[in-house]
Structure 1
């Protein structure tokens, strides 16, 4: 993580958010396609996705081998305190559905969401 005094560009913030998302997944392993599916909630830019994967591997957050991604951190999100709900009019970042209740992941890089109830479980690895 960068010191608070260092300004981040949008891409740097996106990379940091993506790395933190990978760090908090509850999967023993994912295919590269499944990992990209999760990262598409952060960015749809292929070069940024590659940068996130490279940075996560460099930091030891994931291991990549034979097309598989293995998270190493084991720091799962606690749904009561690190996944919060907000009422309003939202669009799910993963599936595009309209939502009246949005689920947001509280990461150090900022809140990530909104997601619907099934998509938050899919993104975090609880389903």
Structure 2
């Protein structure tokens, strides 16, 4: 695992369950990894160059089709966490296991929002 934010971001985009997202919704997901505009841009450009997403103006379409398996690739840990998306305090955190590294923690609602299950 590399914990490289660009690789984690690309792998997150590859695993989204959305048919399409607005650019703002896509950036909302990527802000769980980085708020640095250059890194966000690098994630989007890398994902597009690899054919993981297609961009049409302000619309992003994931084309990977490799959804996260909640039993094996999304794990829970008990502890004292802060959700990376909403900032809520958590006693149970949900973490995504991506090849580039573990990404989380998220609360139960935010993990579904980030992955596209909700």
TM range (shorter): over 0.9
Mapping for residues 72-83 of structure 1, pairs under 5 Å: 72-83=63-74
Are 1:19 and 2:10 matched, yes or no?
A: yes
Structure (1 or 2) with the larger CA radius of gyration? 1
Q: 2:28 aligns with which of 17, 20, 37?
A: 37
| Corresponding residue of 1:92 | 83
| Corresponding residue of 1:102 | 93
Query: Which sections of structure 1, spanning at least 5 residues, go unmatched?
Result: none
Distance (Å, rounded) in 2 between the aligned partners of 1:105 and 1:31: 22
Query: Which sections of structure 2, spanning at least 5 residues, go unmatched?
Result: none
Deviation at 1:64, TM superposition (A): 0.2
Are 1:60 and 2:36 matched, yes or no?
A: no
Structure 1 vs Structure 2 CA RMSD = 1.2
Deviation at 1:76, TM superposition (A): 0.1
| Corresponding residue of 2:111 | 120
Regions of 4+ moved over 6 Å: none
Distance (Å, rounded) in 1 between the aligned partners of 2:57 and 2:26: 14
| Corresponding residue of 1:28 | 19
Distance (Å, rounded) in 2 between the aligned partners of 1:82 and 1:15: 19
Deviations 1:80-124 (A, max 9, x none): 000000000000000000000000000001110000000000000
